[in-house]
Amino acid sequence: MGEEEIRLMGLESDHILFEAQASPRQDLTFVRFMDRIYSEKIEWTEDKLNTYGFKNDEGKYTNLALLFSDQNPIVVKLAVYKGLDRMEFKVKKEFSGSIALIIDLLTDYCQVCNDKRIIKPDDGGFKRTEILSYPEKALREAALNAVEHANYFFLSNIKVEFFDDRVEISNPGDFYGGLTLNQALHGKQSFRNPKLVYVLDKLHFVENYATGVETIFKLYEDFEKKPVFDISNTHTMVALPNRNYEYFLEVEKAKSRLNDEIRALDTRDSQEIGQDTDSRKAGKAASEYQEHLKRLLVDLIKSGGSLTQSEMATKLNVSARTIRRLISETKEIVRIGSKKKGSWIVWGEKDN
């Protein structure tokens, strides 16, 4: 072990808690924390500064108070990558301020990154099934566990990283007190930050029943790939598989095939029309091209998701005006719902 690992082990063996130490700053404010108190309709009195562990016996603010203050120095990072590694960023976010604000921002943005797969019924009905890439509760539990059980003595970030096939959530610190993954799966508890967990419970962020790890695995019972925990002396990481990865991969392949087919058809027809002076043959080629575009448009709409006419035009590499004409000429393409919230569907045909 390195010097830092030995130092952290010594602190834990002596039961020295980060949250109980006096804060290096005593000029703390709690605007965001009080926002949460009021929004959750929690009864508040000044003596709760002691009850919550925000002040020590000497009346000084503790590190727990620092975490919930507006001056909290902890930064939580979120990234979305293109592909399966960290080579190319799509999104980079950093959340700072009161830990109560960080949790709200982090969990909200995790929902934004949690893509949906839409399954339309085979019977032509309107009821559809939505499958989130990650079970919502599993994603939230993993993110909150990272905040709850982080070793804040260790200068490292809590991270949430979305890849195409998984999300990895990591925090400094191993399972506290020698707790094993198997014990955590069966409801055993060990608290590195007991007062932090207590306050998060009072703020209605967590339930404090040690069911988080068990819940994560249960929500993946019906999925082939399971969550993976990687626990070292200094960090804990959980990887949640993307349940829609294989489907989205096939969709991208299908789009690529459509684009290749369109480009090939454009090349062939432009050559035929350019070389042929017979207007009837040129007209026939153009007609075939229009019919082919209609078939591609129908396939695109049937592939799922709610697309605007502009998005259809982009995907088929044609103008929005062409899309409007194709829709008007294709009887099975109909609009359901309002202009703003409705969607295009293929009526009277079953998906293969």
pLDDT digits (tens, 9 = 90+) for 271-291: 555 555 455 555 555 677 788
Mean pLDDT over residues 179-189, rounded?
82
Q: Are 184 and 210 in contact (CB under 8 A)?
A: yes
Q: Is the pLDDT assigned to residue 88 strictly greater than 80?
A: yes
What is residue 234's predicted lDDT score, i.e. its pLDDT? Answer: 87
Residue with more model confidence, 145 or 117: 145
The chain-wide mean pLDDT, for the chain, equals 85
What is residue 350's predicted lDDT score, i.e. its pLDDT? Answer: 44
Q: How many residues are recorded in the chain?
A: 352
Please, which contacts does 51-54 make with residues 24 or more away whose CB atoms are closer than 8 Å?
A: 52/195, 52/198, 52/199, 52/202, 53/19, 53/20, 53/195, 53/198, 53/199
What is residue 351's predicted lDDT score, i.e. its pLDDT? Answer: 42
Structure tokens at 298: 């129908």
- pTM of the shown model: 0.71
**By 3-state DSSP, what share of the chain in percent is helix, strand and coil, each rounded to 5?**
45, 15, 40
How far apart are the C-alpha atoms of 289 and 265, rounded to whole Å?
Answer: 7
What is residue 224's predicted lDDT score, i.e. its pLDDT? Answer: 92
What is residue 124's predicted lDDT score, i.e. its pLDDT? Answer: 55
- Is beta strand 343-346 parallel, antiparallel or unpaired with respect to 166-172? unpaired
How far apart are the C-alpha atoms of 151 and 168, rounded to whole Å?
Answer: 18
Mean pLDDT over residues 341-348, rounded?
76
Structure tokens at 290: 């229009």
What is residue 310's predicted lDDT score, i.e. its pLDDT? Answer: 84
How far apart are the C-alpha atoms of 240 and 165, rounded to whole Å?
Answer: 9
pLDDT band at 330 (very low <50, low <70, confident <90, very high): confident
Lowest mean pLDDT segment, chosen from 102-116, 137-151, 318-332: 318-332
Which of 2-11, 67-76, 316-325 reaches the highest mean pLDDT?
67-76
Q: Are 203 and 42 in contact (CB under 8 A)?
A: yes
Find the helix packing angle between 320-329 and 279-302, rounded to 10°: 90
How far apart are the C-alpha atoms of 311 and 290, rounded to whole Å?
Answer: 19
Amino acid in the structure at residue 21: Q
What is residue 261's predicted lDDT score, i.e. its pLDDT? Answer: 73
How far apart are the C-alpha atoms of 75 and 98, rounded to whole Å?
Answer: 10
pLDDT band at 161 (very low <50, low <70, confident <90, very high): very high
Residue-wise DSSP of 5-46: HHHHHHHHHTT--GGGSBPS------HHHHHHHHHTT----T
